Structure 1
Amino acid sequence: MKKKILFFEDLGKKEFQETWMYQKKLFDEIIQKKVNNISDKKAGYFLFVEHPHVYTIGKNGHKNQHLLVSSDFLKKIDVSFYQTDRGGDITYHGPGQLIGYPILNMDYFFTDIHKYLRLLEEVMIHFLCKNYAIKGERKKGRTGVWFNNGKNGKSRKICAIGIRMSRWVTMHGFALNVNTDLQYFNHIIPCGIYNQEVTSLKKELKKDDISLQKVKCMVKKSFQEIFDVEFINMPD
Structure 2
Amino acid sequence: MNKVVWKDDLGLMDYKLAWDFQETLFKEIVDLKIRNRREEANLPTSNYFLFVEHPHVYTLGKSGDLSNLLLNENQLAEKGATFHKINRGGDITYHGPGQIVGYPILDLENFFTDIHKYLRLLEETIILALAEYGLKTERSPGETGVWLDVGTPFARKICAMGVRASRWVTMHGFALNVNADLGYFDNIIPCGIRGKAVTSLQVELGIEKVNEEEVKSKILKHFEHLFECELKAAVLNDSLNRTKIDQK
TM bucket, shorter chain: over 0.9
What is the deviation of 1:79?
A: 0.2
What is the deviation of 1:3?
A: 8.1
Deviations 1:80-117 (A, max 9, x none): 00000000000000000000000000101111111111
* Correspondence for 1:119 among 121, 126, 132: 121
* Correspondence for 2:85 among 73, 83, 98: 83
**1 CA distance for matches of 2:3 and 2:150?**
36
The answer for unaligned runs of 5 or more in structure 1 is none
Amino acid at match of 2:223: F
Report 1:7-22 matches (<5 A): 7-22=6-21
**1 CA distance for matches of 2:204 and 2:68?**
26
**Which residue of structure 2 aligns with residue 57 of structure 1?**
60
Amino acid at match of 2:53: E
Would you say the 8 A contact 1:143–1:160 is kept in 2?
yes
What is the deviation of 1:153?
A: 4.3
Would you say the 8 A contact 1:5–1:41 is kept in 2?
no
Question: Comparing 216-225 with 175-184, which one deviates more in the overlay?
Answer: 216-225
Question: Comparing 80-89 with 214-223, which one deviates more in the overlay?
Answer: 214-223
Amino acid at match of 2:128: H
Report 1:156-195 matches (<5 A): 156-195=156-195
User: Residues 40 and 148 (structure 1 numbering): CA distance in 2 closer, same or farther, change over 3 Å?
Assistant: farther
**Which residue of structure 2 aligns with residue 36 of structure 1?**
35
Amino acid at match of 2:212: L
What is the deviation of 1:149?
A: 9.0
Q: Which runs of 4+ in 1 moved over 6 A?
A: none
SS of residue matched to 1:36: helix
**Which residue of structure 2 aligns with residue 102 of structure 1?**
104
1:73 aligns with 2:72: no
| Aligned-residue identity in percent | 51
**Which residue of structure 2 aligns with residue 48 of structure 1?**
51
What is the deviation of 1:39?
A: 3.7
Deviations 1:53-98 (A, max 9, x none): 00001011101x2001111100111100000000000000000000
SS of residue matched to 2:140: coil
**2 CA distance for matches of 1:77 and 1:50?**
17
SS of residue matched to 2:4: strand
Would you say the 8 A contact 1:27–1:170 is kept in 2?
yes
What is the deviation of 1:229?
A: 1.1
**2 CA distance for matches of 1:3 and 1:199?**
37
SS of residue matched to 1:143: strand
**Which residue of structure 2 aligns with residue 148 of structure 1?**
149
**Which residue of structure 2 aligns with residue 27 of structure 1?**
26
Amino acid at match of 2:219: V
Amino acid at match of 1:91: T
**1 CA distance for matches of 2:16 and 2:96?**
13
User: Residues 135 and 80 (structure 1 numbering): CA distance in 2 closer, same or farther, change over 3 Å?
Assistant: same
SS of residue matched to 2:116: helix
SS of residue matched to 1:207: coil
Would you say the 8 A contact 2:129–2:222 is kept in 1?
yes
1:138 aligns with 2:139: yes
Alpha-carbon RMSD: 1.6
Instruction: Give the TM-score normalised by the residue count of structure 2.
Output: 0.90
Would you say the 8 A contact 2:161–2:173 is kept in 1?
yes
**1 CA distance for matches of 2:102 and 2:124?**
14
SS of residue matched to 1:132: coil
Instruction: Give the TM-score normalised by the residue count of structure 1.
Output: 0.94
